[in-house]
Structure 1
Amino acid sequence: MEGKYVSESATIMSQRMFPQDANPAGNIHGGVILRYIDLAGATAAMRHSRTPVVTKSIDRMEFRAPALVGELLTFKASVNMAGSTSMEVGVRVEAEDLLTGEVRHTASAYLTFVAMSAEGRPTAVQPLLLETDVEKRRHREASERRETRRKERERERVSQRSQQD
């Protein structure tokens, strides 16, 4: 496999927030934001793999500031790492007040997607080609998160075995 550059699958989506997206205080529900984060992340993963993808996990979801009714939310997604069948995608959410032009970083998340074949089985993805120092840093940090998740899964397996004994 030849590989794909991060820029080839980077995705930017925007969505204006309306009253039906909010709670009584006028803040956008976290679940609404999560839905768009997942959609933007999946789009970037599909652009990289050119296959259907499924969400395997959401890692380190951070809500930094409230998003409000009437604001334009922009979801910026890019693949940080590609494994054999999975990809980590980072998504940054920015809220823009359309009247003042003020832009705030409101949320960030890392998601893992698995590429799926037409038969519904995990399938190989192209390697990720890194060009910039930022891309190399994000890839290194994604590799560290992947190793942390692997260790957590192993601890869970050991714990489950000891509970069965």
Structure 2
Amino acid sequence: MTQSKRASESRTLLTDLVLPSDTNHHHTIFGGKVMAYIDKIACIAAMRHCRKPVVTASSDSVDFLAPIKAGEAIYLEAYVTWAHRTSMEVFVKVEAENLLTGERRVTAHAYLTFVALDESGKPTSVPAVIPETEEEKQQYRDAEERYMLRKKRKQRWKM
């Protein structure tokens, strides 16, 4: 494994305006559009952590907590929470911001796993994660359990 890196070094932020073309008949953003944002920002965070090409290996459940309406901003934050040999777990938090009042609310969160690839497209080692904030430390402490649950879930599909 290469030298360890702070979780904050992978932290990635993205803000975009939700337009009517991004929304469904309820005038809220399409869930699939949010999922695409989540995958994209998580990919950037993973690449910042390992500085190598990555592929999405899994996406744990995306929990939608509240809708985001047309005219609001979608705000995403992602960072690498934990790393195994060649894989990285990335946490993504999604918020909505009412641009007229400044009110923000959490609307979704997800965990994704990415695998780093070498020049020939084979999995390659990634740096370990150094958590610093209390949130990062809690994510790090719980990450191995999530890793084992993912591994168990994948094993069921191989039968």
Pairwise same-fold verdict (TM > 0.5):
yes
Report the equivalent of 1:127. 128
Q: Give TM-score scaled by structure 1 length.
A: 0.91
Counterpart Cα distance in 1 of 2:16 and 2:60: 23
Report the equivalent of 1:138. 139
Counterpart Cα distance in 2 of 1:129 and 1:18: 38
After superposition, residues 1-165 of structure 1 pair within 5 angstroms as 1-157=2-158, 160=159
Partner SS for 1:150: helix
Partner SS for 1:60: coil
What residue ranges of structure 2 are gaps of 5+ in the alignment?
none
Letter in 1 for 2:60: D
2:81–2:131: 8 Å Cα contact kept in structure 1? no
Counterpart Cα distance in 2 of 1:145 and 1:4: 21
Partner SS for 2:15: strand
Shift of 1:25: 1.4
Partner SS for 1:124: coil
2:81–2:89: 8 Å Cα contact kept in structure 1? yes
Counterpart Cα distance in 1 of 2:36 and 2:102: 25
What residue ranges of structure 1 are gaps of 5+ in the alignment?
161-165
Shift of 1:151: 2.0
Partner SS for 2:61: strand
Letter in 2 for 1:73: I
The Cα RMSD (Å) is: 1.1
Partner SS for 1:117: coil
Counterpart Cα distance in 2 of 1:130 and 1:107: 22
Letter in 1 for 2:56: T
Q: Which moved more, 1:138-147 or 1:41-50?
A: 138-147
Counterpart Cα distance in 2 of 1:146 and 1:13: 26
2:52–2:116: 8 Å Cα contact kept in structure 1? yes
Which structure has the larger Rg over C-alpha atoms? Answer: 1
**Residues 60-114 of structure 1 deviation map (CA, whole Å, 9 limit, x = unaligned):** 2100000111111110001111111110000000000101111110010000011
Counterpart Cα distance in 2 of 1:88 and 1:47: 13
Q: Give TM-score scaled by structure 2 length.
A: 0.95
Shift of 1:135: 1.7
Counterpart Cα distance in 1 of 2:40 and 2:156: 31
